[in-house]
């Protein structure tokens, strides 16, 4: 039986407890990837039924990145993600019911039904979006990391997910420069799925070595196979240990691939279908499940049980979202406007009429200047 333990540790020095712990981790990682896949596939169906509206960006194919990274986090850590963030929120601890209700536009959603698919937010789990502006959340990540350091939250790390397309935006360069200058505890996680919407990496960026680009800001940067959940978890574990010890910001490029189009509106005409099929042969879920069965960590019935549990979770979320109320009309302006509080007693104004210069009755008001007390 093989293991995915640290190759630097001799096999005869790995204890039974370590092996058992690693096997539990591997089961959890597989289960988490399956939870994301089932949730996302159901969302696609619900979109076709017009239960979910607006934009919808699915994470199918990229599950190993979210699963590998999110399993390294602690409650005090902060997370920011892109508009393709359903899986990240789910694994951060935002309930499937809360996420689904949000995408249904219901009042019980994690953003009160106002954010939809692209703006999931949950203060309790320190999940700070769901950000629709490409690259717009990278400066926020630096600010959160700086706040943690200034407030003495030692060991807390902000994890920021973004796509390779964001690295062509000015915010990326500004954020990495300041993160390095201020030595803030931020892990920059680039989910490189090779296409910024419909534009390939080589068509939009002159330097396609993304880790090299990040390293130019004098911070550690490296590349990881984003289709291998254990490689993702191993790299993130090491990065988080260094960050918690005060090592400063770090960058990891996770090379991955989305099996679906950019969004449900995207006809996906810019990719060769044969390319997509080649990447599907590396499906992070099926390849990892096969590995665990081969290693006798689980058997086929365990895999079936994981899929069934994920379906039950998702269907319960759909039922709850269907039954949830929409936001009442009388609260629609909450968080948009607020009542204007008077700064003085209106009675103090007295009964004096405004002072008017000129003749209001003349029809010529060019020289009229009203002065109110």
Q: Taking Cα atoms as reference points, which of 84, 77, 47 lies closest to residue 63?
A: 84
Overall average pLDDT of the 212-216 stretch:
97
pLDDT at 18: 76
Confidence of residue 11 (pLDDT cuts 50, 70, 90): very low
* Angstrom distance (rounded) from CA 211 to CA 96: 34
pLDDT at 344: 63
Confidence of residue 91 (pLDDT cuts 50, 70, 90): very high
- CB within 8 A of 225, min separation 6: which ones? 231, 232, 254, 255
pLDDT at 358: 46
* Angstrom distance (rounded) from CA 55 to CA 265: 8
Give the residue, 302 or 347, on which the prediction is more confident.
Answer: 302
Give the residue, 43 or 16, on which the prediction is more confident.
Answer: 43
Confidence of residue 132 (pLDDT cuts 50, 70, 90): very high
pLDDT at 323: 97
Helix (H/G/I), strand (E/B), else coil: 253: strand
Burial of 198 (0-12, 13-18, 19+ CB in 10 A): middle
Q: Which residues of 156-179 are buried (b: 16+ CB within 10 A; e: fewer)?
A: bbbbbbbbbbbbbbebbbebbebb
**Domains of the chain listed by start with CATH number:** 26-329 (3.40.50.970), 339-371 (no CATH)
pLDDT at 331: 87
Burial of 150 (0-12, 13-18, 19+ CB in 10 A): exposed
Quick one: which H or E segment has residue 192? strand 186-192
Overall average pLDDT of the 232-242 stretch:
98
Q: Taking Cα atoms as reference points, which of 209, 261, 237, 236 lies closest to residue 56?
A: 261
* Angstrom distance (rounded) from CA 349 to CA 255: 68
CA distances 182 to 112, 176, 179, 217, 236, Å, are 35, 10, 5, 12, 22
Which pTM was predicted? 0.85
Overall average pLDDT of the 1-14 stretch:
49
Burial of 267 (0-12, 13-18, 19+ CB in 10 A): exposed
Indicate whether 370 pLDDT > 70: no
User: Across all residues in the chain, what is the average pLDDT?
Assistant: 90
Indicate whether 348 pLDDT > 60: no
């Amino acid at each position: 039986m093989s293991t995915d333990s640290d190759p630097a540790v001799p096999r005869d020095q790995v204890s039974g407890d370590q092996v058992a712990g690693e096997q539990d981790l591997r089961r959890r990682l597989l289960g988490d990837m399956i939870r994301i896949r089932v949730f996302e596939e159901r969302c696609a169906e619900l979109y076709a039924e017009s239960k979910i509206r607006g934009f919808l960006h699915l994470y199918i194919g990229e599950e190993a990145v979210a699963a590998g990274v999110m399993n390294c986090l602690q409650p005090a850590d902060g997370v920011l993600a892109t508009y393709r963030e359903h899986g990240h929120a789910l694994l951060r601890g935002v309930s499937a019911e809360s996420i689904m209700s949000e995408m249904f536009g219901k009042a019980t959603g994690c953003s009160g039904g106002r954010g939809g698919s692209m703006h999931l937010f949950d203060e309790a789990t320190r999940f700070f979006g769901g950000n629709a502006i490409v690259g717009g959340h990278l400066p926020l990540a630096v600010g959160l990391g700086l706040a943690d350091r200034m407030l003495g939250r030692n060991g807390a790390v902000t994890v920021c997910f973004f796509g390779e397309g964001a690295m062509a935006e000015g915010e990326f360069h500004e954020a990495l420069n300041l993160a390095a200058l201020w030595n803030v505890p931020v892990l920059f996680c680039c989910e490189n799925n090779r296409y910024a919407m419909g534009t390939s990496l080589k068509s939009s960026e002159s330097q396609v070595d993304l880790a090299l680009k990040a390293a130019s800001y004098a911070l550690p940067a490296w590349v990881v196979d984003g289709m291998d959940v254990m490689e993702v978890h191993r790299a993130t574990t090491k990065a988080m240990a260094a960050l918690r010890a005060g090592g400063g910001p770090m960058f990891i490029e996770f090379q991955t691939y989305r099996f679906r189009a950019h969004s449900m509106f995207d006809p996906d005409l810019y990719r060769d279908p044969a390319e997509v099929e080649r990447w599907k042969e590396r499906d992070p879920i099926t390849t990892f499940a096969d590995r665990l069965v081969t290693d006798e960590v689980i058997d086929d019935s365990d895999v079936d049980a994981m899929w069934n549990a994920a379906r039950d979770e998702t269907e319960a979320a759909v039922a709850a979202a269907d039954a949830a109320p929409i936001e009442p009309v009388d609260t629609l302006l909450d968080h948009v406007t607020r009542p204007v509080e008077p700064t003085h007693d209106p009675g103090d104004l007295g009964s004096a009429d405004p002072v008017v210069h000129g003749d209001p009755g003349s029809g010529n008001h060019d020289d009229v200047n009203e002065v109110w007390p």
